[in-house]
Structure 1
Amino acid sequence: MVCRGQEKELLGGDPETTNNRMELTAAAEALEALKRPCIVTLHTDSEYLRNGITRWHTGWVRRKWRNAAGDPVANMDLWQRILEAAKPHEIDWLWVKGHSGDENNERVDQLATRGREEL
């Protein structure tokens, strides 16, 4: 995370999870780390995260956390956590292509690898 020139890196891991859950967890923890309302640009290479938060979640909420097929939304706990953490902030959810040389995305990949190795 970068705010007014100050950088803070968060990392972690869970051996019993999926990459999608880790992507969502990272977004939730980043937003929860903010101590006051902020204007945020959240960069992600996860289309699942970006589409879920910018397109799909309104339908899920309207259908009481069911997807279009009527099944419970996968990772509902994390989606709800992100939505709650996002409330005080103005957020631009920016998708970046993974492994394309984006400096911040490459750094996040390094932190993710380190988080897995430290388990």
Structure 2
Amino acid sequence: MRLRVRPEETRLVTPYGGIMTITAAADGSALGNPGPNGWAWYIDDDNWAAGGSPHGTNNQGELRAVLELLRATASVADEKLVIECDSRYVIDSVTKWMPGWKRKGWRKADGGAVLNRDLLEGIDEALRGRDVSFTWVKGHAGHPLNEAADERANGAATAYQRKQDPDRGPGFAGAAATPAATPTPVPEPEPVPELVPVPELVEGTSARPAAPTLWAEPADLLDGLDGSADATPLTLTVALTTEEHARLRDRADAQRITLEEALRRLI
């Protein structure tokens, strides 16, 4: 198994050195996060799939999309697979953190249990013996495959919100030549506690909204940083318009944090 994070972007199915390369996007969506969620992977209009659950998180949808893509393309495991993701959490979990988590018995740097372990274990098993690389793309930035996957994942989440069956797509046409193995069922995601609103501070005034969930556990960001790497902080200068500065200030005020911390969380 070879895992690489590639900055360049490739397209669909292309020959490379005598080996076919399949490029697909994987994306997830959650309405409420947690709430009705969806997942989707997309190669082209003839090769895509989507699904979801009545209750889950965006991260669970993102991971499930990768897992279902790996399973769908298992019949062509000898071909190279490039997966486009707009989730740093997914890419870092699979390519950076997962080996350490496994060595620690699926425990994080702070000793806590790894979230979404069932999905990560499924991905780990599905990656064995395959040539897979991940490419990060910015979401909602016009990347055709990512946009198509995002649209279908959001459509699945919306269907579950309306208590309807989502459009699951045609699947992977290349799998027709080889009987597909019966996939190992993925357990239902563990219930996620509902967010508790902040009580009103002054009678007659509205409570501040609860801070949004981070894309990864803070302790996850410490994995791999316990060595002798240089910890000197870097200075980043960002030029903001008046409107952008106002939006950032509103976000910081809503979360009761400084402007610097609000910007750091966005990164």
Look up the match of 1:53: 94
Q: Say whether residues 1:69 and 2:110 are aligned partners.
A: yes
Quote the Cα distance in structure 2 between the aligned partners of 1:113 and 1:74: 22
Q: Say whether residues 1:97 and 2:138 are aligned partners.
A: yes
CA distances 1:38-96 after superposition (whole Å, capped 9, x unpaired): 21000000110000011001110110100000011000110000011111310111111
Q: Aligned Cα RMSD in Å?
A: 1.6
Quote the Cα distance in structure 1 between the aligned partners of 2:129 and 2:13: 16
SS at match of 1:104: helix
SS at match of 1:66: coil
Matched residues, number: 118
SS at match of 1:74: coil
Look up the match of 1:17: 56
Aligned-residue offset at 1:118: 2.0
Which of the residues 44, 47, 53 maps onto 1:8? 47
**Runs ≥4 in structure 1, deviation > 2 angstroms?**
2-7
Amino acid at match of 1:112: A
Aligned-residue offset at 1:113: 1.4
Quick check: which has more Rg, 1 or 2?
Answer: 2
**Gaps in structure 1 of 5+ consecutive residues:** none
Q: Which has the higher contact order (CA 8 A, sep 6+)?
A: 1
Q: Say whether residues 1:30 and 2:69 are aligned partners.
A: yes
User: As a proportion of its length, which structure holds more strand?
Assistant: 2
**Gaps in structure 2 of 5+ consecutive residues:** 1-11, 15-21, 23-43, 161-267
TM-score relative to the length of structure 1: 0.92
Q: Say whether residues 1:39 and 2:77 are aligned partners.
A: no
User: As a proportion of its length, which structure holds more helix?
Assistant: 1
Q: Say whether residues 1:86 and 2:86 are aligned partners.
A: no
Quote the Cα distance in structure 2 between the aligned partners of 1:23 and 1:57: 16
Indicate the percent of aligned positions where both proteins have the same amino acid: 35
